[in-house]
Structure 1
């Protein structure tokens, strides 16, 4: 068993990847930008500081970034009451907590969106929470994961990073941690493995099943 686990939020624990995609698409459309949803889906997980130049390029009018972010946030908030946990997410968090695993959340999501999503997850017992507000650069920079591990008081090799995007996997690799890629956010197993995921599972439920087996008699270590 890992001593600590760093979880992503959107698309990993809560089923929000496509809601964020839609909210960003509408926000860009209102601002006069035509952006394919496929491009936006691949950008979910980035903080706004990274998403804007990634989607619109460096030639955009940066003065409008704040308005776009506000529009996205307003649109996303209309979905708060309808968001569901991904299969097994609450059980996974609860089980890991009762096993004594140090738990961290590292997410680009903050503010009222974060509070709403923690409510969806029944306010789990988290030892560390870091958001894009705590670092200079959000994903795909590894800063979020690095800070989470530092605040956990653990070494990267003692920690497992769990996320649904290539950004999560690449961040884990950059700091020297192992990673689990989850397919439930819409990224394929092939893409997650190509990015360097140590293991890939369908969703939190299937990951929890594996961890329970690992914690069982005769299997004291996470498989090599």
Structure 2
């Protein structure tokens, strides 16, 4: 029985995946690497430490990895003012908290971005803990972020809520199940193939269906 709900942030609670993809596209262009944006989107959900090599190979990572990540930060910053929470994000956290679960926000984003998103979702008083890129050496699909999130609270068993295949893969490596939402732009088939046990079209649909998931109301 899970006692902790571990929420991905980007693409799950806040609508950022396409901004991330465009920022990476522009960052790669600075180094004369031109990738179709749809291919970049397929990698969103990975941390930047994994994404560069995944899309372009080890040589580009070796030669330009850190500079590319710096360029991505510069390209993404102007989008911050456009980012909005998904409908139901705050209400979902409230409902899960009411059911007695600890709530941890597991983000591999930069700390200032995570702080901004916490305010967008009005989550500071709801989250028992959260993570940033400063907390792990390897991001998703490695399990480090999910494991670190669970370590932040006195819980013993977690359930992942995410939007990308990389969330489900990372959770599986940490022996956790995943509930997925399609808010990140991935298909239900992709999410199930990656290991998600349930897939919902939206956060509102997830709220309505919580009792059919491991986040059901505790039985009296």
Is this a same-fold pair by TM over 0.5? yes
Q: Distance in 2 between matches of 1:119 and 1:81?
A: 12
Q: Does residue 1:204 correspond to 2:203, yes or no?
A: yes
Q: Does residue 1:52 correspond to 2:48, yes or no?
A: no
Deviation of 1:2 after TM superposition, in Å, equals 4.1
Match of residue 112 from structure 1:
112
1:94-135 Cα offsets, whole Å, 9 max, x none, are: 222233320111112122211221121124321121223211
* SS in structure 2 at match of 1:138: coil
Deviation of 1:91 after TM superposition, in Å, equals 0.9
* SS in structure 2 at match of 1:33: coil
Which aligned segments of 4 or more residues in structure 1 are displaced greater than 6 angstroms?
none
C-alpha RMSD over aligned residues: 1.9
Match of residue 33 from structure 1:
33
Give the number of aligned pairs.
Answer: 216
Deviation of 1:19 after TM superposition, in Å, equals 0.5
- CA shift in 2, pair 1:209/1:28, >3 Å: same
Residues 52 and 61 in structure 2, CA contact (< 8 A), matched pair in contact too: no
Match of residue 128 from structure 2:
127
Deviation of 1:61 after TM superposition, in Å, equals 5.7
Match of residue 14 from structure 1:
14
Residues 161 and 168 in structure 1, CA contact (< 8 A), matched pair in contact too: yes
1:61-105 Cα offsets, whole Å, 9 max, x none, are: 634222221221122111111111112111111222233320111
Deviation of 1:154 after TM superposition, in Å, equals 2.2
Q: Distance in 1 between matches of 2:61 and 2:111?
A: 25
Gaps of at least 5 residues in structure 1 are: none
Match of residue 72 from structure 1:
72
Q: Distance in 2 between matches of 1:182 and 1:103?
A: 17
Match of residue 98 from structure 1:
98
Q: Distance in 2 between matches of 1:82 and 1:136?
A: 29
Deviates more, 1:138-147 or 1:93-102: 93-102
Match of residue 87 from structure 2:
87
Residues 45 and 108 in structure 1, CA contact (< 8 A), matched pair in contact too: no
Q: Distance in 2 between matches of 1:55 and 1:42?
A: 10
Deviation of 1:153 after TM superposition, in Å, equals 2.3
Question: Under a length normalisation based on structure 1, what TM-score does the superposition of the two structures give?
Answer: 0.89
Residues 106 and 131 in structure 1, CA contact (< 8 A), matched pair in contact too: yes
Q: Distance in 2 between matches of 1:191 and 1:110?
A: 27
Match of residue 171 from structure 1:
170
